[in-house]
């Protein structure tokens, strides 16, 4: 399997060169901004950094989604015996994608993934499939935040040190950075962690001079190459 594509634009929040403590969300309607969790705010900041978005399909990928919100809701349920329907609706795994659809009035298909040990690769598989089916552009968004201490993570590399989001606009042709995405059979190195760590490696790859990034998972090795 090998696919070529163009990264037309990409953005990460927080930016490595930024000292901002909170995302800037100037273009978000106030009634939606009030509903955004800290993680959702990071996602919309990354998306805004990708430039003007046309109506297009989107792929959202998060290892754990709104896990912090879910835990807070469950804690409140245990304490008070009831929860707000609004709190519940914003704790599900596709909550941020739903708010994105409402904000842009986007009626194209939106896929939300929880990729497990394959990390960032499934989102690229989904996005490139949409391009192959005829979509002119696809928005891909990766996002995660540190896991609450309630959940044990050791000895696995499951979490991340800080909340972050990365957004990419992919197309089959046009101006941008040409890349090739492929996979091979699994190497004997085993799994190297999950999406939060993969995202950090991908950002370093996109920002640096290295032309190839390889990530090993239990079933295969995924490869990104700058052309």
pLDDT of 19-67, one tens digit each?
Answer: 554 555 666 666 666 667 788 888 988 998 887 666 899 999 998 877 6
Question: What residues contact residue 31 under an 8 Å CB cut-off, 6+ apart?
Answer: none
- pLDDT tens, residue by residue, 154-163: 656 666 667 7
Is the pLDDT at 72 greater than 60? The verdict is yes
Distance CA 176, CA 36 (A): 31
Tokens in use for 104? Answer: 């842009």
Residue 11's pLDDT is: 92
Cβ neighbours around 164 below 10 Å, total: 22
Residue 21's pLDDT is: 47
Is the pLDDT at 18 greater than 60? The verdict is no
- pLDDT tens, residue by residue, 181-221: 998 876 555 565 788 889 989 999 999 999 999 988 877 88
Mean of per-residue pLDDT scores for the chain: 81
Report residue 68: phi and psi, to 5°: -65, -45
Using DSSP, state whether 155 is helix, strand or coil: coil
By the 8 A CB rule, do 208 and 177 touch? Answer: no
Return the minimum-mean-pLDDT range out of 1-10, 11-20, 127-136. 11-20
- pLDDT tens, residue by residue, 82-94: 776 666 656 677 7
Residue 203's pLDDT is: 93
- pLDDT tens, residue by residue, 160-181: 667 789 999 999 999 999 999 9
**Domains within the chain, CATH numbers bracketed:** 2-15+23-147+159-177 (3.40.47.10)
Q: Of 107, 132, 119, 1, whose CA–CA distance to 55 is shortest?
A: 107
Residue 181's pLDDT is: 96
Is the pLDDT at 150 greater than 80? The verdict is no
């Amino acid at each position: 399997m090998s696919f070529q594509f163009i990264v037309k634009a990409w953005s990460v929040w927080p930016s490595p060169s930024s000292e901002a403590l909170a995302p800037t969300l100037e273009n978000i309607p106030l009634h939606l901004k009030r509903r955004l969790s800290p993680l959702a705010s990071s996602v919309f900041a990354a998306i805004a950094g990708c430039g003007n978005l046309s109506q297009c399909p989107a792929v959202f990928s998060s290892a754990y989604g709104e896990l912090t919100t879910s835990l807070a809701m469950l804690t409140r349920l245990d304490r008070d015996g009831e929860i707000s329907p609004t709190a519940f609706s914003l704790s599900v795994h596709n909550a941020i994608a739903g708010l994105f659809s409402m904000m842009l009035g986007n009626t194209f298909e939106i896929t939300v993934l929880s990729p497990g040990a394959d990390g960032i690769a499934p989102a690229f598989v989904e996005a490139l499939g949409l391009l192959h089916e005829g979509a002119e552009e696809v928005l891909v968004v990766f996002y995660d935040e540190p896991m609450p201490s309630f959940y044990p993570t050791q000895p696995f590399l499951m979490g991340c040190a800080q909340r972050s989001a990365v957004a990419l606009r992919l197309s089959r042709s046009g101006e941008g950075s040409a890349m090739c995405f492929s996979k091979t059979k699994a190497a004997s190195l085993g799994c190297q962690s999950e999406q939060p760590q993969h995202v950090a490696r991908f950002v370093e790859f996109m920002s640096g001079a290295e032309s190839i990034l390889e990530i090993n998972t239990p079933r295969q090795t995924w490869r990104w190459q700058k052309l």
